[in-house]
Amino acid sequence: MLLAVFLFWVKMYVVYKFIFAIAAENTVQELILLFSSLSSLLFIFGIALFTKGKMYTHTVLCSAVSLTILLCSNIMFYGFFDDYLTVPVLLQTSNFSDLGSSIRELLSYRTGLLFMDIIVLWYVARKWPQIIPKDKLSIKSRSVYFVGLITLFIVHLSFAEKERPQLLTRSFDRKILVKNIGLFNYHVYDVILQSKSSAQRALADSDKLIEVENFVGGKRKPKHDLFGIAKGKNVIIISMESLQQFVINNTVNGQVITPFLNELIQKSYYFNEFYHQTGQGKTSDAEFIIDNSLYPLDRGAVFFTHAGNQYVATPAILRHYGYYSAVFHANNKSFWNRNLMYPALGYHRYFHGQHFAANATNSVGWGLKDREMFEQSIQQLKSLPRPFYVKYITLTNHFPFRLGVKDQIIPPYDSTSSTLNRYFSTVRYSDEAVRYFFTRLQEEGLYEDTIFVLYGDHYGISENHNKALAQYLGKGEFTPADVVLLQKVPLIIHIPGQKAKVMSQVGGQIDVKPTLLHLLGVERERDIHFGEDFFSPLKEQFTVFRDGSFVTEHYIYTRGVCYNRNGEVLDVTHCLPYIKKARLELRYSDKLIYGDLLRFLNNR
Express each pLDDT in 292-302 by its tens digit. Answer: 999 999 888 89
Output the average pLDDT for the chain.
91
The predicted-structure confidence for 468-515, as pLDDT tens digits, reads as follows: 999 999 998 899 999 999 999 999 999 999 999 999 999 999 999 999
Does position 171 have pLDDT exceeding 90, yes or no?
no
Q: What backbone torsions phi and psi does residue 157 show, to the nearest 5 degrees?
A: -65, -35
Q: How far apart are CA 115 and CA 76, in angstroms?
A: 15
As a whole-number percent, the residues of the chain with pLDDT over 70 amount to 94
Q: Which residues of 282-299 are buried (b: 16+ CB within 10 A; e: fewer)?
A: bbbbbbbbbbbbbbbbbb
> What is the rounded CA–CA span in Å between residue 248 and residue 490?
8
What is the residue type of 51?
A: T
E strands in 25-100 = none
Which residue out of 258, 278, 283, 426 is catalytically annotated?
283
The whole-angstrom distance between residue 276's C-alpha and the CA centroid of its chain comes to 9
Residue 230's pLDDT band (cuts 50, 70, 90): very high
Question: What per-residue confidence (pLDDT) applies to 108?
Answer: 66
Contact assessment for residue 556 and residue 563, using Cβ atoms and an 8 Å cutoff = yes
**Domain ranges across the chain:** 2-200, 207-603
- In this predicted structure, what is the pLDDT of residue 300? 80
Please indicate, yes or no, whether the overall pTM of this predicted structure exceeds 0.85: no
Q: Does domain 207-603 have CATH number 3.40.50.2000?
A: no
CB-based contact 300:88 (threshold 8 Å): yes
The Cα–Cα gap between 385 and 370 comes to: 24
Sign of the Cα pseudo-torsion (103, 104, 106, 110, in order): positive
Identify the helix (H) or strand (E) that includes residue 364.
strand 363-364
Note the pLDDT of residue 26.
Answer: 87
Active site residue 283: yes
Confidence class of residue 130 from pLDDT cuts 50, 70 and 90?
Answer: confident
By the 8 A CB rule, do 376 and 353 touch? no
Residue 57 has pLDDT above 90, yes or no: yes
The alpha-helical segments, DSSP class H, found in 164-231 are: 174-181, 183-203, 206-216
Cα–Cα dist 440/447, whole Å: 9
11 has pLDDT over 90: yes
Residue 464, C-beta contacts closer than 8 angstroms, at least 6 positions apart: 21, 78, 79, 82
| Residue 21 CB coordination number (10 Å) | 13
